[in-house]
Structure 1
Amino acid sequence: MQFLETAHALQRDLDNALSLARGISFSEYRILRALANVYSGGAPRIDLARAVGLTPSAVTRALKPLEKLGYVTTEKGGRDARQSRAVLTTGGRTLLDDTQGVLRDTLMSLPINQRGMDDIELFRACLGECRR
């Protein structure tokens, strides 16, 4: 349970830092990052949802303000609205570049960074095992 609380606190810290600096949440950042790295040609919302671990409706809700701000566009997919694709814009790529320093600073302020490299490597290994 403590691990989940810690993960939630970290996400909250990242949300706050990104919101203050760039006006987006960490979930929105993850969507933009997936569009940049995994789906450079755009992605249907259902595929994007799978990539970031959100529901398709949560992705749809998150994309609306991102589209309004000019970070993504939507390409219609024929008659079926579920097949529309979210595409990262140049403004979205610029935003992602701008957020790197914010994320780095936030992550570097974590208490674990005051530990030795052996502790950090052990922590990374444990996290890697949790992902399996």
Structure 2
Amino acid sequence: MSQNIELLLSISSMQNNILKTLDRHLSVHGISFSEFLVMYRLSLVSNRTVRRIDLAESVGMSASGITRLLNPMEKLKLVEKEQNPRDARVSFVKLSDVGFDLLNDAIKSVQHATDSLFKSLDTNDIELFLKLINKIR
């Protein structure tokens, strides 16, 4: 087997382990890592509002995938849908106050999970790892 394939399989295995760990830590908040990621991205933009298609792109999902993820989040009042008054084809998603509060609690759980996941790495290891990841993005 080539080194590239071994690297790919190792990255995939690592990603699965990380996602399982994060989902387990986030389950106490009633959200998945995908939902956390959406709320986190929304928290970073002005007015906590972004076009639905831009949100999908920023979290690596398709337009239909983000819609399937957001629908239950809207029912739970974590996010709100806003229509563009000038263009009905464009819709916006806003992180609600309820979602923002939940996100702040969830961030503590994610921090705890990442502390555990990366406890064997020192600051230099993490900097190098980030540098290598950014090389292949």
| TM-score for the superposition, normalised by structure 1 | 0.85
Cα distance in 2 for residues equivalent to 1:98 and 1:67 = 19
Matching of residue 124 in structure 1 with residue 126 in structure 2: no
**Distance (Å, rounded) in 2 between the aligned partners of 1:8 and 1:37:** 26
Q: Distance in 1 between matches of 2:88 and 2:69?
A: 16
Shift of residue 40 of structure 1?
Answer: 3.0
Which of 86-95 and 41-50 deviates more?
A: 41-50
Matched, 1:12 2:36: no
Cα distance change on mapping 1:70 and 1:4 into 2, 3 Å? same
Aligned with 1:127: secondary structure? helix
**Offset at 1:121?**
2.8
Deviations 1:26-81 (A, max 9, x none): 11111111111135352222111011111111111111111111111111235976
Percent identical pairs in the alignment equals 36
Structure 1 stretch displaced more, 22-31 or 121-130: 121-130
The aligned amino acid for 1:95 is L
Aligned CA-pair RMSD: 2.0
- Output the CA distance in 2 between the equivalents of 1:115 and 1:59: 33
Give, in whole Å, the separation in 2 of the partners of 1:79 and 1:51. 24
Structure 1 residue corresponding to 2:54, chosen from 47, 51, 54: 47
Q: Which residue of 1 aligns with 2:33?
A: 26
In the alignment of these two chains, the number of paired residues is 129
* Larger CA deviation: 7-16 vs 122-131: 122-131
Q: Match for residue 106 of structure 1?
A: 113
Gaps of 5+ in 2: 1-8
User: Secondary structure in 1 aligned to 2:93?
Assistant: strand
